[in-house]
Amino acid sequence: MELKGKTAVVTGVSKGIGLATVKFLLEKQANVAGWGRTAPKLDHPNFYFVPTDVSDFASVEKSLGQTKQQFVEGISVLINNAGLGFGGTLSDMPLDQWHQMFNTNVHGIFYCCKVIIPEMKKMGEGHIINISSIAGTNGIENMAGYCGTKHAVNGISHALFKEVRNDGIKVTCVNPGSVNTNFFDNFDSITTNEHMMRPEDIAASLINVLETHPNLLTSDLELRPLKPKG
Ligand SMILES: NC(=O)c1ccc[n+]([C@@H]2O[C@H](COP(=O)([O-])OP(=O)(O)OC[C@H]3O[C@@H](n4cnc5c(N)ncnc54)[C@H](OP(=O)(O)O)[C@@H]3O)[C@@H](O)[C@H]2O)c1
């Protein structure tokens, strides 16, 4: 897809992978609606922040309305990036942390896809990228809840791409290993380091996937640091 002049919705844009992706999309001259709880420090004529809690369907519906008013030409790209994780053993995990992970990482993707897919179908074009994780293809000790959410994201993505491919809509599931962001603030046992991938590495890979030929679908993309221990 030629990104110039197209409208993209990116969720979770205050920092990390989401913010890096917004910046790369703006460099490609796309219009970007950032749906998030917290606004980024970013002032650009083609960027429009829409206060959104992706775990709340009413909030997501409202954001669609605001985005359509701002960018009338239709939404071509949805990057479901907003997400969070809590660590610890399953038996010690507080209920609210478990629910917050599923409400955001799984239900949030459902809500955003549910409102935006009809818009893409009207245009006969679209690309949805779901940011999953290698926790979506592996079991990781002390991350059972997070792994559960990301396995769900992989399963949803694989089913969805078959549902919408004949409408001209691509669905890509991206599975990154460790990225140096604030994601690990909730994990006492993990500290970020320079051997992790950089958020801009993930953003650049997303742009590559978006810019492929209309008949090429990258259904899954696994990204890893080459030397995670340096
Ligand atoms: N970092 C990694 O190693 C890694 C690896 C694989 C996959 N991922 C995935 O990559 C995605 C981005 O994570 P990151 O590493 O960039 O982490 P991050 O720096 O913590 O950023 C997460 C973003 O999601 C937003 N968010 C969280 N809950 C939200 C909600 N209910 N509604 C709207 N926005 C919400 C946050 O907003 P606030 O500022 O308001 O909190 C923030 O902008 C996540 O889905 C994560 O699971 C990360």
Q: How many domains does the chain have?
A: 1
Cα distance between residue 157 and residue 136, in whole Å:
11
Alpha-carbon dihedral angle through residues 206, 137, 94, 81, given to the nearest 10 degrees:
10
Secondary structure (3-state) at 3? coil
Q: Which residues lie with the beta carbon below 6 Å from any ligand 1 atom?
A: 11-18, 36-38, 52-55, 81-85, 104, 131, 133, 176, 178-179, 181-183
Reported as half-sphere exposure (CB side, CA atoms, 13 A), residue 217 has a value of: 20
Q: What is the DSSP letter of 172?
A: E
pLDDT band at 189 (very low <50, low <70, confident <90, very high): confident
Q: In the block, which residue shows the tokens 């775990």?
A: 55
From ligand 1's centre to the CA of 107, what distance in Å?
14
Residue nearest to atom 21 of ligand 1 (CA): 16
Q: Which of 146, 170, 178, 205 is catalytic?
A: 146
**Is 130 inside any structural domain?**
yes
In the structure encoding, which two tokens stand for residue 87, read together? Answer: 């660590």
Q: Does residue 219 carry a catalytic annotation?
A: no
Give the pairing of strands 126-131 and 77-80. Answer: parallel
pLDDT per residue over 204-218, tens digit each? 999 999 999 999 999
What average pLDDT score do residues 134-138 get? 98
pLDDT per residue over 79-100, tens digit each? 999 999 999 999 999 999 999 9
| Predicted pLDDT of residue 71 | 96
In the structure encoding, which two tokens stand for residue 189, read together? Answer: 């046992």
**Is 149 inside any structural domain?**
yes
Q: Which of 7-16, 83-92, 185-194, 206-215 has the lowest mean pLDDT?
A: 185-194
**Is 183 inside any structural domain?**
yes
In the structure encoding, which two tokens stand for residue 126, read together? Answer: 């679209």
- Which ligand 1 atom is the nearest neighbour of the CA of 53? 32
Cα distance between residue 87 and residue 152, in whole Å:
18
Nearest in space to 149 (alpha carbons), one of 187, 117, 106: 106
Residue nearest to atom 23 of ligand 1 (CA): 12
Q: In the block, which residue shows the tokens 């810019």?
A: 211
**Is 42 inside any structural domain?**
yes
pLDDT per residue over 99-131, tens digit each? 999 999 999 999 999 999 999 999 999 999 999
Q: Which of 150, 157, 170, 205 is catalytic?
A: 150
Is this prediction's pTM over 0.95?
yes
**Is 22 inside any structural domain?**
yes
Q: What is the CATH number of the domain that holds 199?
A: 3.40.50.720
Complete DSSP assignment for 17-63: HHHHHHHHHHHTT-EEEEEESS--S---TTEEEEE--TT-HHHHHHH
Q: Find the length of the chain.
A: 230
Q: Does residue 14 carry a catalytic annotation?
A: yes
**Is 103 inside any structural domain?**
yes
**Is 185 inside any structural domain?**
yes
Spatial neighbors of 126 by CB under 8 A, at least 6 apart, are 75, 76, 77, 78, 116, 117, 119, 120, 164, 167, 168, 169, 170
**Is 228 inside any structural domain?**
no
What residue numbers bound the domain in which 23 lies? 7-222
From ligand 1's centre to the CA of 185, what distance in Å?
11
Name the residue of 37, 53, 134, 202 to mutate for ligand 1: max ligand atoms within 8 A of Cβ.
37
**How deeply is 175 buried, as exposed, middle or buried, from its count of CB atoms within 10 A (0-12, 13-18, 19+)?**
buried
Q: Does residue 150 carry a catalytic annotation?
A: yes
- Which ligand 1 atom is the nearest neighbour of the CA of 55? 31
Give me the chain's average pLDDT, please. Answer: 97
Q: Does residue 132 carry a catalytic annotation?
A: yes
From ligand 1's centre to the CA of 166, what distance in Å?
31
Residue nearest to atom 20 of ligand 1 (CA): 183
